Chain A
Amino acid sequence: AQTVTQSQPEMSVQEAETVTLSCTYDTSESDYYLFWYKQPPSRQMILVIRQEAYKQQNATENRFSVNFQKAAKSFSLKISDSQLGDAAMYFCAYRSAETSGSRLTFGEGTQLTVNP
């Protein structure tokens, strides 16, 4: 079974600065997908960014980018120019390429605080 670990229960960053959230995973599969989800206090699950394991290029979405190290099984999220609205719980998630579409394995989450 796959596992996802987020070793930082809490992180804080000053507004306009950069922060990196860590995620490691364990799998024996070679083809899979990795996700970062944002969960604000409303509990809504918002997809931040997605990475396909077969793509060597790191995914980028505006101020959000990932550092995907397949050999090290590491998938960190970098948030640049942090904004107050970025404050939320962030979850790293794994999905096998062989399993059905909405089955995800989540990490424990990292609570991000953005200080003005």
Chain B
Amino acid sequence: NAGVTQTPKFQVLKTGQSMTLQCAQDMNHEYMSWYRQDPGMGLRLIHYSVGAGITDQGEVPNGYNVSRSTTEDFPLRLLSAAPSQTSVYFCASSYSFQGNTIYFGEGSWLTVV
């Protein structure tokens, strides 16, 4: 049982490049979310999913796309990276609607130069 796995852990991108942050969970969780954490701020919700094929926008969705083709995977795509997207990204998942136990990945450090 690996929990929530994020890859890569570190990435440097050039402005305008695209990339995908991967998130996978092996706990059969329906609910998954992506957050970003900037210095001096808490985590902010980018996108979330309530099940395969169902996604919606969070607080800061601009510049990011998501899809959920399987229960296990919830990739986050940066279409054209900008320096403002330099951040630490966290994926989270939970099983029940009540979400009493929310599992976080270890984070992905992204620098856009």
CB closest chain-B residue, reference A92: B42
* A47→B101 CA distance, assembly (Å): 9
Contact B102 A100 (CB under 8 A): no
Which B residues touch A44, using CB under 8 A? Answer: 104, 106-107
Q: Which of B12-20, B29-37, B60-68, B78-86 lies on the face that meets chain A?
A: B29-37
A101 partner residues in chain B, CB cutoff 8 A: 29-31, 94-99, 102
Chain A neighbourhood of B100, CB < 8 A: 33, 50
Interface residues of B in 38-59 (CB under 8 A from A): 40-45, 48, 50, 58
State how many angstroms separate the Cβ of B57 from the closest Cβ of chain A. 11
- B93 lies within 8 A of chain A by Cβ: yes
Residue picked from B29, B50, B88, B102, most chain A C-beta under 10 Å: B102
Q: Known contacts A102-B94, A103-B48, A104-B45; is A33 also within 8 Å of B99 by CB?
A: yes
Contact A91 B43 (CB under 8 A): yes
Least CB distance from A6 to B in Å reads 8
Given contacts A100-B31, A100-B99, A102-B92, contact A108 B41 (CB under 8 A): yes
Chain B positions within 8 Å of A91 at CB level? 42-43
Q: Is the CB of B40 within 8 A of A100?
A: no
Q: Is the CB of B97 within 8 A of A45?
A: no
Known: A45-B104, A102-B31, A103-B58. A95 touches B43 (CB 8 A): no
Please report B residues at the A interface, Cβ cutoff 8 Å: 29-33, 35, 37, 40-45, 48, 50, 58, 88, 90, 92-102, 104, 106-107
A→B interface (CB under 8 Å): 4, 6, 9, 33, 35, 42-45, 47, 50, 91, 93, 95, 97, 100-109
